[in-house]
Amino acid sequence: MSAGRERHKCVVCGRVFPRGHGVVIGIEDLVLEFHSNRCFAKFARELLKRMPQGDVKGYARRLLEEYEEILSQKAKLKSKRI
């Protein structure tokens, strides 16, 4: 099969989709394939429910801080242009 005709199978609903569509995430040797953002969100919600809450809370807090900093920097840049 040529690279242009590569197919993926959604791990949530089983739907087959072509390369370039859907969401494909690689984590080391694990490849997660989702045909839509909705299937990805369903998988992510379930994953977060099953992970130890202390771990999730710490990582979520750090990521939230990073996004807050990015938004703050963007706001500063935008205010300087006016």
* 46 and 72 co-located in one domain: no
Q: Which residue has the higher pLDDT, 2 or 71?
A: 71
* 33 and 68 co-located in one domain: no
Structure tokens at 47: 């994953």
Task: Select, from the ranges 3-7, 13-17, 55-59, the one with the highest average predicted confidence (pLDDT).
Answer: 13-17
* 46 and 67 co-located in one domain: no
In percent, the amount of the chain with pLDDT more than 70 equals: 91
Structure tokens at 34: 């989702």
| Host domain of residue 69 | 52-82
pLDDT single digits (tens) 6-40: 899 999 999 999 988 999 999 999 999 999 999 99
Q: Which residue has the higher pLDDT, 59 or 81?
A: 59
- Are 64 and 72 contacting, i.e. CB atoms less than 8 angstroms apart? no
Total number of domains constituting the chain:
2
- Are 32 and 43 contacting, i.e. CB atoms less than 8 angstroms apart? yes
Residue 14, Ramachandran bin (φ over 0: left; ψ between -120 and 50: alpha; else beta): left
- Are 50 and 59 contacting, i.e. CB atoms less than 8 angstroms apart? no
* 64 and 40 co-located in one domain: no
Mean of pLDDT over the chain: 90
